[in-house]
Amino acid sequence: MVQVVIGSDHAGYELKEQLKERLLDCGYAVRDIGTVSIEPVDYPDIAVEVAREVLNNEPALGILVCGTGIGMAITANKIPGIRAAVCNDTFAARAAREHNDANILAIGARILETESAWDIVKAFLSASFQGGRHARRVDKIRALESRYFK
Ligand code: RB5
């Protein structure tokens, strides 16, 4: 089973804890980067740590939870090698793995109920990159990283 690195800000804390418990129950090795309470924190501080851990433990996958998933994904995508996708439905979550080889799922705790969030996490973790024509497209993303990221 793939290792899962999970993190949230204060807005995502409660959902992150619920998802972590379910992942552990399913037998996943889960590394929790925090946050550890509903005390306000800045989402970039968590997103960058989760991104680093995902890259250091490849083929680990990351899950980021904030109010919308957006700030977390914007931050994580600044790290070369990270493809973070905001997915607030299962179709997108599956496609993010199958087509985009996303290695981080970002979700919004202020958008999703727990059961929907759990369905999205399961869809993301159970899907695999399909390669083929999608690999060519992901390679183009990598080429852009090489060109524009200093
Ligand atoms: C925190 O209030 C909120 O801005 C954050 O959780 C997230 O939604 C940012 O994208």
Cα–Cα nearest to 93, from 118, 58, 67: 118
Single out the catalytic residue among 10, 26, 66, 134: 66
Single out the catalytic residue among 26, 87, 99, 134: 99
Confidence (pLDDT) at 81 = 97
In order of their start, the domains of the chain are 3-148 (3.40.1400.10)
- Tens of pLDDT along 110-139? 999 999 999 999 999 999 999 999 999 999
Give CA–CA dist 130/55, Å, rounded.
Answer: 20
CA of 139 to the centre of ligand 1 (A): 31
Lookup result for tokens 């990159």: 129
To test the pocket of ligand 1, the residue of 38, 72, 75, 86 to mutate (highest count of ligand atoms within 8 Å of its CB) is: 72
The arithmetic mean of pLDDT across residues 103-109, rounded, is: 98
CB 32 within 8 A of CB 20: yes
Give the residues surrounding ligand 1 with Cβ less than 6 Å away.
Answer: 9, 11, 43, 66-68, 70-71
Number of helices (H) and strands (E), helices first, in the chain? 6, 5
Residue 87 appears among annotated catalytic residues: no
4 has a pLDDT exceeding 80: yes
CB 43 within 8 A of CB 7: no
150 has a pLDDT exceeding 80: no
The length of the chain in residues reads 150
To test the pocket of ligand 1, the residue of 66, 88, 110 to mutate (highest count of ligand atoms within 8 Å of its CB) is: 66
CA of 135 to the centre of ligand 1 (A): 32
Distance from the Cα of residue 75 to its chain's centroid: 11
CB 127 within 8 A of CB 94: yes
CA of 106 to the centre of ligand 1 (A): 12
